């Protein structure tokens, strides 16, 4: 695909109700044609009567159709056994437009299908009369046997006229400019006319007053009656002056009010239509790439010189220079914030240079957490997945994606603050995030009916979300996710423990939403197994000394049959994180350590120096997904085999893959709206995702949805692997 500004060619389709099926199939045909023409920077917009059925107008609805005809480039009419009064009127309007400017192409098709004798009605005379009228006008019509024949014949005509037609049409962006300029000229003419009317009224009143004065003076009225008349005249004079002045000030006030309203409308329209508006005046926790340091990532002083310079040029609107610096920074270090900033700068440069239309640019946001409580690789992985899919979508595509980055600090207050800001930025179509189920739960109502929310990493079950607070909305119809829930992970972990012969578990659990959801599902599965639950310890409420040694003494004889299960929060509590590291250290390989996905982090692998290789490898963790070597190679190829900032290698992980897939879901929803001839919107995106047949192919496989959740769910079990340095993770069989 090229980078041309898209040109919109409008096709008006007129037909009577008897050809409803043909009309619908013709609409599908045009939408499919768009897949080809979009590559050439051309979009076919089909105008049919259904598009006006809900329109409000002071004139009759047919007048709106006729007006639409004058704005179209091609007029197609279909006939079979009759010619409706309105269809004929539409044809005559098209003919009038053609005679006026010669720019409208008119195509008339008569269906040549057999007509049952029982179907013949008096209306057939309208058809015969219309054919005679066409003959007298010298207008040739075309016959078609069925819808396939119609599509074939019209497709041939499109191929013939498209090169010339595309050359005649101004790009959509320039058409809008011309329409605005024409509207402003009309407003100025009306104001000038009103000004002249005011001046004429003022002059007329002055002349009449002057004549009245002359008449009074001429009669020498010095009597009391005369003086009364003079006083009345003076009063009238003053009153007229006051009326004139009042009229002026009233007109002025009205004009001021109209100007204010117009300014507000222009501002609002600009906020909606300007692709860059979502990146304007952002608070410190939101960035499109212009800030010197995305909050808490990377750490202060860690920016590469090229990246720092690129961000400065970005903030100043020098996108060409920003691209040059950011490309060098991305080449040196595969930082995800640099990647998204670079992607955005490229789109903004194309917009500024006029090589793409604002209508072809769509904005999404990603909300994730950075800070002391969450490892940098978690938030960084999510940004990598989003930026990766953004880069793939933008490459060689006439449509482009801008990504707004938001740091919600992985907590309630931060997530609510981000949600309020993103919902208020009208250009944003959908949001990826937040990271934790805890943060996601608190913002569900804020995004409801406002903005699609696709969480790549929130795994608490829908049932657990709803059970938290009955007073909160139970409507999750704007919430979607590609990730399997805690129910699947808990089931697989219990299955593994039972298969390996474990008969007892000691459970350490946190209080946040994902931990509680996993705990509920895990204990439910345990009760259906042969495994007994022994001590249960609430990590959050327990002292820092969890006395793991006492468990080691108590269950020493059954240490090979006992598992120590850590059900972790999603890095909500810093102290809780330290306690979990302490549990692993104190265990030192005595019991098998089992746990949920937050234990999948580099801090756990770094314990090898403290507890040794064998002790560390005595661990199994349930995570949503683990890549094959082939899948890992896709990321390695994207980053040119270079390591990520938090790792020694370009390693694909489940957070990255799920963020990629969540972004792919949003992109697919946008593309499907475009293929249907619709301008992508917030509500349209939600409705597309909610369709029963919605699907897309992601890194983790085919994604179909059942309500908010992925329909086909699975999870993986992994264990530390220290056969190489540094330690890594390996997939194990359940």
* 205 vs 344 pLDDT, higher one: 344
Question: Residues 566, 599: one domain?
Answer: yes
Question: For residue 398, is it left (φ>0), alpha (ψ between -120 and 50) or beta?
Answer: alpha
Sign of the torsion angle spanned by Cα atoms 383, 385, 388, 389: negative
Residue 503 lies in a domain: yes
Question: Residues 116, 27: one domain?
Answer: yes
Residue 641 lies in a domain: no
Question: Residues 370, 501: one domain?
Answer: no
Q: In whole angstroms, how far apart are CA 205 and each of 36, 208, 211, 234?
A: 68, 5, 10, 13
Question: Residues 375, 282: one domain?
Answer: yes
Instruction: Kindly report the CATH number assigned to the domain that includes residue 81.
Output: 3.40.50.10140
Q: Among the listed ranges 189-193, 447-451, 486-490, 650-654, which one has the minimum average pLDDT value?
A: 189-193
pLDDT in tens, 175-187: 555 555 565 566 6
Q: What number is the average pLDDT over the span 703-710?
A: 95
Residue 666 lies in a domain: no
pLDDT reported for residue 53: 39
Residue 654 lies in a domain: no
- Report the relative pairing of strands 532-538 and 562-567 from DSSP bridges: unpaired
pLDDT in tens, 615-671: 899 999 999 999 999 999 999 999 999 988 888 888 899 999 999 999 999 999 999
Residues 6+ apart with CB under 8 A from 318: none
Sign of the torsion angle spanned by Cα atoms 665, 666, 667, 671: positive
Q: Where does a domain end: 449, 480, 511?
A: 480
Question: Residues 403, 335: one domain?
Answer: yes
pLDDT reported for residue 637: 93
Residue 98 lies in a domain: yes
Residue 340 lies in a domain: yes
Q: Where does a domain end: 579, 594, 623?
A: 623
Q: What number is the average pLDDT over the span 100-104?
A: 72
pLDDT reported for residue 266: 47
Question: Residues 467, 561: one domain?
Answer: no
pLDDT band at 269 (very low <50, low <70, confident <90, very high): very low
- Report the relative pairing of strands 701-706 and 695-698 from DSSP bridges: antiparallel
Copy the structure tokens of residue 1.
Answer: 């695909």
Copy the structure tokens of residue 628.
Answer: 């094959």
pLDDT reported for residue 573: 61
pLDDT reported for residue 51: 47
Burial tier of 699 (Cβ tally within 10 Å: 0-12, 13-18, 19+): buried
DSSP per residue, 324-372 = HHHHHHHHH---HHHHHHHHHHHHHHHHHHTSS-GGGEEEEEEEE--BT
Q: Where does a domain end: 585, 608, 623?
A: 623
pLDDT at residue 583 tops 80: yes
The fraction of the chain above a pLDDT of 70, given in percent, is 76
Sign of the torsion angle spanned by Cα atoms 598, 600, 602, 603: positive
Q: What is the CA radius of gyration of the chain?
A: 35
Question: Residues 184, 206: one domain?
Answer: yes
Question: For residue 732, is it left (φ>0), alpha (ψ between -120 and 50) or beta?
Answer: beta
pLDDT band at 4 (very low <50, low <70, confident <90, very high): very low
b/e per residue, 108-147, with b = 16+ CB within 10 A?
bbbbeeeeeeeeeeeeeebbeebeeebeeeeeeeeebeeb
Nearest to 733 by CA among 722, 719, 723, 712: 719
pLDDT in tens, 295-316: 566 665 678 899 989 999 999 9
Instruction: Kindly report the CATH number assigned to the domain that includes residue 493.
Output: 3.40.50.2300
pLDDT band at 236 (very low <50, low <70, confident <90, very high): low
545: DSSP letter:
-
- H-only helix segments in 395-504: 412-423, 437-447, 462-468, 486-499
Q: Among the listed ranges 253-262, 375-384, 449-458, 510-519, which one has the minimum average pLDDT value?
A: 253-262
Question: Residues 493, 461: one domain?
Answer: no
Q: In angstroms, rounded to a whole number, what is the distance separating the alpha carbons of residues 731 and 717?
A: 6
Average predicted confidence (pLDDT) for the chain:
81
| Strand ranges across the sheet with 709-710 | 695-698, 701-706, 709-710
4: DSSP letter:
P
Q: In angstroms, rounded to a whole number, what is the distance separating the alpha carbons of residues 499 and 493?
A: 10
Residue 467 CB: number of other CB atoms within 10 A? 13
pLDDT at residue 452 tops 80: yes
Q: What number is the average pLDDT over the span 71-88?
A: 80
Residue 70 lies in a domain: yes
pLDDT band at 338 (very low <50, low <70, confident <90, very high): very high
Question: Residues 379, 413: one domain?
Answer: yes
Instruction: Kindly report the CATH number assigned to the domain that includes residue 392.
Output: 3.40.50
Question: Which residue, chain included where needed, has tokens 């995305």?
Answer: 294
Q: In angstroms, rounded to a whole number, what is the distance separating the alpha carbons of residues 241 and 202?
A: 8
Q: What number is the average pLDDT over the span 142-160?
A: 90
pLDDT at residue 75 tops 50: yes
Question: Residues 248, 144: one domain?
Answer: no
Residues 6+ apart with CB under 8 A from 676: 31
Question: Residues 80, 161: one domain?
Answer: yes
pLDDT in tens, 422-438: 999 999 999 999 999 98
Domain range for 419: 278-480
Q: Bridge-partner residues for 623, per DSSP?
A: 716
Question: Residues 70, 178: one domain?
Answer: no
pLDDT at residue 707 tops 60: yes
pLDDT reported for residue 268: 46
Residue 701 lies in a domain: no
Structural domains of the chain, count: 4
pLDDT reported for residue 221: 41
pLDDT band at 65 (very low <50, low <70, confident <90, very high): low
Q: In whole angstroms, how far apart are CA 9 and each of 51, 164, 182, 360, 678?
A: 16, 12, 21, 15, 14
- H-only helix segments in 274-334: 305-315, 319-332
């Amino acid at each position: 695909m090229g980078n041309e500004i898209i040109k919109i060619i409008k096709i008006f389709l007129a037909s009577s109700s008897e050809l409803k099926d043909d009309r619908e199939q013709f609409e599908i045909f045009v939408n499919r044609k768009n897949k080809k023409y979009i590559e050439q920077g051309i979009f076919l917009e089909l105008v049919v009567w259904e598009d006006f059925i809900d329109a409000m107008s002071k004139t009759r609805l047919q007048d709106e159709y006729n007006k639409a005809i004058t704005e179209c480039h091609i007029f197609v009419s279909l006939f079979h056994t009759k010619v409706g009064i309105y269809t004929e009127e539409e044809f005559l309007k098209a003919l009038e437009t053609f005679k006026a400017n010669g720019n409208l192409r008119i195509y008339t098709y008569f269906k040549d299908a057999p007509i049952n004798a029982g179907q013949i009605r008096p209306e057939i005379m309208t058809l015969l009369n219309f054919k005679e009228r066409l003959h007298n006008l010298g207008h040739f019509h075309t016959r078609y046997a069925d819808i396939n024949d119609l599509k074939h014949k019209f497709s041939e005509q499109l191929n013939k006229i498209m090169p010339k037609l595309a050359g005649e049409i101004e790009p959509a962006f320039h058409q809008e400019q011309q329409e605005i300029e024409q509207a402003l000229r009309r407003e100025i003419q009306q104001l000038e006319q009103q000004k002249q009317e005011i001046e004429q009224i003022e002059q007329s009143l002055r002349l009449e007053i002057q004549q009245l004065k002359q008449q009074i003076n001429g009669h020498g009225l010095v009597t009391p009656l005369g003086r009364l008349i003079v006083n009345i005249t003076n009063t009238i004079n003053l009153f007229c002056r006051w009326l004139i002045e009042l009229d002026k000030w009233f007109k002025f006030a009205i004009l001021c009010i109209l100007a204010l309203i117009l300014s507000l409308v222009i501002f609002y329209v600009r906020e909606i239509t300007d692709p860059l508006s979502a990146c304007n005046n952002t608070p410190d926790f939101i960035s499109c790439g212009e800030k010197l340091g995305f909050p808490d990532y990377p750490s202060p002083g860690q920016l590469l010189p090229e990246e720092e310079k690129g961000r400065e040029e970005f903030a100043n609107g020098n996108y060409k220079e920003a691209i040059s610096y950011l490309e060098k920074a991305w080449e040196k270090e595969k930082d995800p914030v640099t990647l998204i900033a670079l992607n955005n700068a490229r789109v903004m440069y194309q917009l500024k240079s006029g090589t793409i239309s604002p209508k072809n640019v769509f904005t999404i946001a990603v909300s994730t957490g950075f800070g002391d409580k969450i490892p940098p690789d978690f938030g960084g992985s999510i940004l990598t997945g989003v930026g990766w899919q953004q880069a793939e979508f933008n490459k060689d595509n006439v449509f482009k994606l801008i990504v707004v980055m938001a740091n919600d600090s992985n907590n309630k207050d931060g997530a609510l603050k981000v949600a309020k800001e993103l919902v208020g930025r009208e250009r944003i179509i959908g949001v990826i995030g937040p990271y934790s189920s805890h943060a996601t739960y608190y913002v569900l109502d804020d995004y409801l009916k406002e903005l699609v929310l696709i969480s790549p990493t929130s795994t608490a079950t829908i049932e657990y979300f709803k059970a938290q607070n009955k007073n909160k909305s139970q409507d999750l119809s704007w919430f979607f996710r590609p990730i399997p829930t805690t129910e699947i992970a808990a089931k697989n972990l219990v299955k593994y423990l039972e298969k390996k012969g474990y008969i007892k578990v000691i459970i350490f659990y946190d209080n946040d939403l994902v931990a509680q959801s996993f705990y509920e599902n895990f204990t439910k599965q345990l009760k259906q197994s042969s495994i007994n639950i022994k001590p249960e310890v609430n990590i959050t409420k327990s002292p820092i000394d969890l006395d793991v040694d006492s468990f080691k003494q108590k269950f020493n004889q059954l240490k090979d049959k006992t598992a120590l299960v850590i059900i972790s929060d999603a890095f909500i509590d810093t102290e809780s994180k330290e306690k979990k590291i302490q549990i692993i250290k104190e265990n030192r390989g005595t019991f098998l350590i089992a746990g949920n996905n937050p234990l999948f982090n580099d801090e756990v692998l770094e314990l090898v120096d403290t507890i040794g290789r064998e002790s560390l490898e005595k661990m199994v963790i349930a995570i949503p997904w683990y890549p094959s070597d082939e899948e890992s190679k896709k990321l390695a190829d994207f980053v040119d085999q270079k390591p990520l900032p938090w790792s020694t290698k370009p390693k694909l992980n489940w957070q990255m893959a799920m963020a990629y897939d969540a972004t792919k879901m949003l992109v697919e929803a946008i593309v499907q709206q475009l293929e249907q001839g619709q301008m992508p919107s917030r509500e349209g995106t939600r409705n597309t995702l909610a369709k029963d047949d919605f699907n897309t192919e992601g890194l983790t496989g085919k994604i179909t949805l059942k309500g908010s959740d992925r329909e086909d769910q699975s999870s993986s079990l992994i264990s530390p692997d220290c056969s190489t340095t540094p330690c890594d993770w390996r997939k194990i069989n359940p």
